């Protein structure tokens, strides 16, 4: 919590600048309009192919999308790291609004009833001070005129960071890690799960399993696709 406070205080000293070109910016987004237009869009077809490689777990997922293609060392990575590691949860909601607007175009008329974030492990959320997916999901829910439910899913066990794991190890790492809130009623409901990054899709697919088992129709979306 101290580190989060320190980062917040530092923003009172140093002006906000675009994470793409470095010019001062006063908007809610961490990039200027010019850089925003140049960010690489993710391919829904490529995301679906990545998910389908996971086999049966992806069969009933209705739609899967990401706002941008991850660009290692580029502006998209700087945005994602600013949200996730630099104590800037406030940029999550405006980024989520972009996710929601983009998803509405990709999903061919499919509209969620509920938008929920992928939950963090308790220890990781305490360390970071927030869940980066919360703001993204809140903004997407606003754009899609759906209910935002940050408590719909629970992470029932801690998992290792997925960053350095193989595709197979990523799936094993998150299998059975998520459950529904005991009072949740999702049968016949459309649920959109939100995370910051889709890589192999293992985390989102693992979180979708209890929703599908409870009778929900599930779609997935993220800020970036990083295959």
**E strand or H helix at 178:** strand 178-180
Per-residue pLDDT tens over the stretch 46-98: 999 999 988 888 989 999 999 999 999 999 999 999 999 998 999 999 999 99
Tell the CATH topology of 40-225: Rossmann fold (3.40.50)
Contacts of residue 23, Cβ cutoff 8 Å, sequence gap at least 6: 17, 32
Write out the E strands in 17-76: 64-69
Structural domain boundaries in the chain: 40-225
pLDDT attached to residue 15? 57
Contacts of residue 216, Cβ cutoff 8 Å, sequence gap at least 6: 186, 187, 188, 189, 190, 191
Total-model pTM: 0.88
Spatial CA neighbour of 221 closest among 182, 195, 190:
195
**Rounded to whole angstroms, how far apart are CA atoms 20 and 26?**
14
Per-residue pLDDT tens over the stretch 160-207: 454 555 555 665 666 667 989 999 999 999 999 999 999 988 899 999
């Amino acid at each position: 919590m101290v580190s989060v406070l320190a980062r917040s205080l530092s923003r009172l000293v140093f002006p906000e600048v675009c994470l793409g070109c470095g010019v001062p910016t006063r908007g809610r987004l961490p990039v200027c309009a010019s850089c925003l237009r140049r960010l690489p869009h993710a391919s829904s077809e490529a995301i679906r192919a990545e998910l389908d490689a996971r086999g049966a777990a992806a069969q009933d997922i209705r739609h899967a999308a990401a706002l941008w293609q991850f660009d290692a060392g580029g502006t998209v990575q700087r945005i994602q790291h600013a949200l996730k590691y630099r104590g800037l949860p406030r940029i999550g909601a405006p980024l989520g609004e972009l996710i929601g607007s983009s998803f509405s175009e990709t999903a061919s008329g499919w509209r969620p009833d509920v938008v929920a974030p992928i939950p963090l492990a308790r220890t990781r959320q305490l360390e970071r001070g927030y869940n980066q997916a919360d703001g993204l999901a809140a903004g997407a829910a606003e754009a899609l005129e759906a209910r935002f439910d940050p408590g719909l899913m629970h992470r029932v066990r801690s998992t290792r960071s997925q960053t350095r794991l193989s595709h197979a190890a990523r799936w094993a790492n998150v299998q059975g890690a998520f459950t529904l809130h005991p009072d949740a009623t999702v049968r016949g409901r459309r649920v959109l799960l939100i995370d910051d990054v889709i890589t192999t899709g293992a985390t989102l697919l693992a979180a979708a399993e209890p929703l599908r088992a409870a009778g929900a129709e599930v779609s997935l979306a993220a800020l970036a696709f990083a295959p």
